[in-house]
Structure 1
Amino acid sequence: MKKYHQQVAGTTYAFDGLVDVLAKASPRRSGDELAGCAAESDAERAAALWVLADLPLGRFLDEPVVPYESDDVTRLILDRHDERAFAPVAHLTVGGFRDWLLATAALPDAAARLTAVSRGLTPEMVAAVSKTMRHQDLVAVARATRVTSAFRTTIGTPGTLATRLQPNHPTDDSRGIAAAVLDGLLLGCGDAVVGINPATDSPQAAADLLELLDGVRQRYDIPAQSCVLTHVTTTLDLIHRGAPVDLVFQSIAGTQGANESFGVTLPLLFEAEEAARSLGRGTVGDNVMYLETGQGSALSAGAHIGAGGRPVDQQTLEARAYGLARELNPLLVNTVVGFIGPEYLYDGRQIVRAGLEDHFCGRLLGLPMGVDVCYTNHAEADHNDTDTLLLLLGAAGCAFVITVPGADDVMLGYQSLSFHDVLTARNVLGLRPAPEFERWLIRTGLADGSGRILPVDPAAGPLWELAGA
């Protein structure tokens, strides 16, 4: 294993391989400190960044962060690497690649240039360059990318910010869920997906929820997709039973061991994509996968050890999850950026940074990237932090965010965004809902011709029938 050295202020710092350089170059976060791989001082972090900036991008192909022989995610990433797409940037160092990205983002044809190299980038390259970038750099480059996906609505169209309407209920009560769905629809949310985290893992309960959501969609002719976020094996069974499955959900991670802790394998994920696509339920596209990730998932599963037996930093492992995700042609991918807890992202500052990193890395790898702008109740964060991250993500071209009634998910017990928060972001930043959904909002009288949500007279709209469901 190659060792790297760098002198800063008269002290020479040594790093054991690429894994160590990446970890020590990461901005400070509690998860890396918990794993024992974080820099011990700002000087050591600066030394690691200096080393990282001078590394050729090709080094990431020659020195896998997680061994090829023992990890199927690594094999997928390297076996499907596109050398032709990589060629325009193959001569660059990590620092040179940062300069190239910032210069390219300022060009009129930035989106085409970034798309052209996307399949030539590995997650480790993208994670590495993100560590050298300021917040404004992450926003500027992500905004310059163009990634779209489609099912019944088109996600990622420039100038839009879509939403997942999350109507969770502690007992999966149909009336409570219907009330939350009504609330979200009246406030212009749900264009990415109406997605429920079920309170139990009962297949029958999941089937009942799917029938509920699909019935609402058909009754009011809503151009939207629904999803019950149950395990992929349960969804496969529901597909075989004829349930109205639009999207297949699954949490994924950046190592084979972490995915096994979720009870999934790569062949199972590809089987699920094929099964859902065979149903032909999409109208404007056939992207059928909904994948969720989050910094710290591999560490929490004890599956974060890389080359040389060293722990890999959580942000690099998160980017590797995106390398897996892009092979599944997803409609939606989102990081639940503050959901795992302060053990991994301690406070609002760390959550904001991680959210921008995740969005940047996903977009550069070619994903329709969304973010659950959230935090747990025991984190050192509040809604001022989520306001900041939401507006930064909106400026960065984020495809979608998650919204819950009143910003408080009463089933999962964490804080996310409210429906009203997204209205503010759309208004301030000049963003609109997904185009097919916006046309429905206008047609039903919920929005004006510019997509602005209107006050609703309870006697005027048929959607109010949901209140008595």
Structure 2
Amino acid sequence: MAFAQAVGGTRYVFPDLRTLLARATPLRSGDVLAGVAAESAQERVAAQRALADLPLRHVLAEPVIPYEADEVTRLILDRHDAAAFAPVAHLTVGGLRDWLLSEAATPEALAGLRPGLTPEMVAAVSKICRLQDLVAIAAKCRVTTRFRNTIGLPGTLSIRLQPNDPVDSPRGVAAAILDGLLLGAGDAVIGVNPASDNIDTTIRLLELLDAVRDRYAIPTQTCVLAHVTTTMLAIGRGAPVDLVFQSIGGTEAVNRSFGVSLSLLKEAREAALSLKRGTPGSNVMYFETGQGSALSAEAHHGCDQQTVEARAYAVAREFAPLLVNSVVGFIGPEYLFDGKQITRAGLEDHLCGKLLGLPMGVDVCYTNHAEADQDDMDALLTLLGVAGVTYVMGVPGADDVMLAYQSTSFHDGLYLRAALNKQPAPEFAAWMERMGIEAASGAGELPGRMAPALVGLS
């Protein structure tokens, strides 16, 4: 079905929903690179107006990637809950935006609506939102998950402690863990990106993380962000695996480029659940996503990168994750050129994930060749905090020496907690108090033997 809209005396025609969504997307370099972006601001406005008038039922009826060609499309449509969709089924995309901003869209109403929303619906809504809309709607979404602690409660902000080391040195990892714990980070997860996907290194790091957690009875979870198949091998060899990590995307083809499928992710989740390592909960999966991954793998099917990103959240939702993280600026300026585009994308990702029921974190980050700086990241970090982001990254000095990109530091997380009166996950906050660490400022000292003991564990 074609869509037409006149703006400024020019009539624009969009041949299908996929094209309409792409042309309506606020400018970003990845869509220009893919050849799907609007050719002018005027064409973009025409597409946004046409999109606002589009009935939600049509979004449901016209998949952007054919059902028979893609297992993610099949997942989206097979899991759609018509009863949950019924209260908004009569609305247009613009009408849904208005409802989401209204007082009727309470946290309880939004939770009930989640199974009735598709990624394409929430992507469409986000494209016609200004930044304050993205913040205001997301702030009303409540998503809570549990493993050894409780993440996402109102009034909380969690931090992933990211103790990466360029050569996977246990001593380097241990030093960064100590730094992060002293500054109140680690309640989301203590998660290491390994420099290699070697199974022996993965197991050694898993054992280090678990030894630290167990020795000091830290109510958190640990993860080595190896490929899902490596983690499954580690489980088979008796390694202490809390969470299974995997990068995912919004099409079957991009997931294939990552070496995964829906069936493999299901198998991995079942393996992790069989270990029964969670205490208050059993959310055992950790996913990372990012706008541009499908285009870089030539697996986007002509869709814009933000719509494909939202489709990745349907994959994540299927496996009840503890954490989902948009690494928004990590892929580079070819996909998000500057601070303005990164800011917009981060808020879009957060909103779309939350509307679909995911515990969304955002890696507020950029690569060194992007037109962005830490001031841009401060602004995005603050906007996300107001929007109720579930967690952010904690990287020593905000400079990841292994992945070679700029993120947020332990001090940045402390700033956001203090500025917005947020606390860590309650179980972790109680542990910090027992250990003499001040939750708001990171002041205080761990027991004098902790630092040498961490070195000894390494």
TM-score, normalised relative to structure 1: 0.96
The aligned residue for residue 451 of structure 2 is 464
Q: Which amino acid aligns with 1:225?
A: Q
2:366 is equivalent to residue 371 of structure 1: no
The aligned residue for residue 453 of structure 1 is 441
Deviations 1:113-132 (A, max 9, x none): 00111100000000000001
Cα-to-partner distance string for 1:107-164 (whole Å, 9 max, x where unaligned): 5x71100011110000000000000101111111111011000001111011111011
State the distance in 2 between where 1:453 and 1:442 align.
12
Match of 1:13, SS state, is: strand
Percent identity (aligned): 65
Partners of 2:352 and 2:442 lie apart in 1 by: 36
What does the per-residue CA deviation read over 1:249-296, in whole Å, with 9 as the maximum and x for residues that have no partner?
Answer: 000000000000000011000111111011110011000000000000
- Report 1:67-216 matches (<5 A): 67-103=66-102, 106-107=103-104, 110-216=106-212
Q: Is the 8 A contact 2:436 2:445 kept in 1?
A: no
1:360 aligns with one of 333, 344, 351: 351
**Equivalent residue, structure 2, for 1:5:** 4
- The answer on whether the counterparts of 1:178 and 1:466 sit within 8 Å (CA) in structure 2 is no
Contact 1:182 1:466 in 2 (8 A): no
1:47-446 alignment, distance < 5 Å: 47-103=46-102, 106-107=103-104, 110-305=106-301, 311-446=302-437
State the 1:237 CA deviation: 1.0
Q: Give the 3 Å change call, closer, same or farther, for CA 256–464 of structure 1 in structure 2.
A: same
Letter in 2 for 1:452: A
Shift of 1:360: 0.1
SS of structure 2 residue aligned to 1:362: helix
The alpha-carbon deviation at position 461 of structure 1 amounts to 3.7
Residues 166-224 of structure 1: CA deviation (Å, up to 9, x unaligned) = 00001111111100000000000000001001011110000000000000001111111
Q: CA deviation at 1:61?
A: 1.7
1:308 counterpart residue number: none
What is the identity, as a one-letter code, of the residue corresponding to 2:366? Y
Offset of residue 393 of structure 1: 0.6
1:272 partner letter:
A
- Aligned partner letter, 2:180: G
**Cα contact 1:27–1:131 (8 A) shared by 2:** yes
Q: How many residues align?
A: 456
Instruction: Write the distance in 2 (CA, Å) between the matches of 1:467 and 1:275.
Output: 29
Secondary structure, aligned partner of 2:38: coil
Tell me by how many angstroms 1:453 deviates: 3.4
Task: Identify the residue that residue 20 of structure 1 maps to in structure 2.
Answer: 19
CA distance in 2, matches of 1:420, 1:444: 19
What is the distance in 2 between the residues matched to 1:208 and 1:166? Answer: 17
Q: Please report the RMSD computed on the Cα atoms of aligned residues, expressed in angstroms.
A: 1.0
Offset of 1:467 from its aligned partner? 5.7
Whole-Å separation in 1 of the counterparts to 2:352 and 2:45: 21
Distance 2:226 2:203 in 1: 10
Q: Which runs of 5+ in 1 are unaligned?
A: 306-310
Provide the C-alpha distance between the structure 1 equivalents of 2:440 and 2:13, rounded to a whole number of angstroms: 56
CA distance in 2, matches of 1:48, 1:210: 49
Q: Provide the residue aligned with 1:42 in structure 2.
A: 41
**CA offset at residue 62 of structure 1?**
1.1
Gapped regions of structure 2 (runs ≥ 5): none
The one-letter code of the counterpart of 2:321 is P
Which aligned segments of 4 or more residues in structure 1 are displaced greater than 4 angstroms? none
Q: Measure, in 2, the Cα distance between the counterparts of 1:325 and 1:79.
A: 15
TM-superposed deviation, 1:454? 4.5
Following superposition, the deviation at residue 452 of structure 1 comes to: 2.3
Normalised by the length of structure 2, the TM-score is 0.98
Aligned mates of 2:137, 2:3 — CA distance in 1: 29
1:403-441 Cα shifts (integer Å, max 9, x gaps) = 100000000000000000010111011111111100000
Q: 1:467 to 1:285 in 2, by over 3 A?
A: closer
Name the aligned partner's letter for residue 424 of structure 1: Y
Cα deviation for residue 468 of structure 1 reads: 3.6
Counterparts of 1:388 and 1:376, CA distance in 2: 17
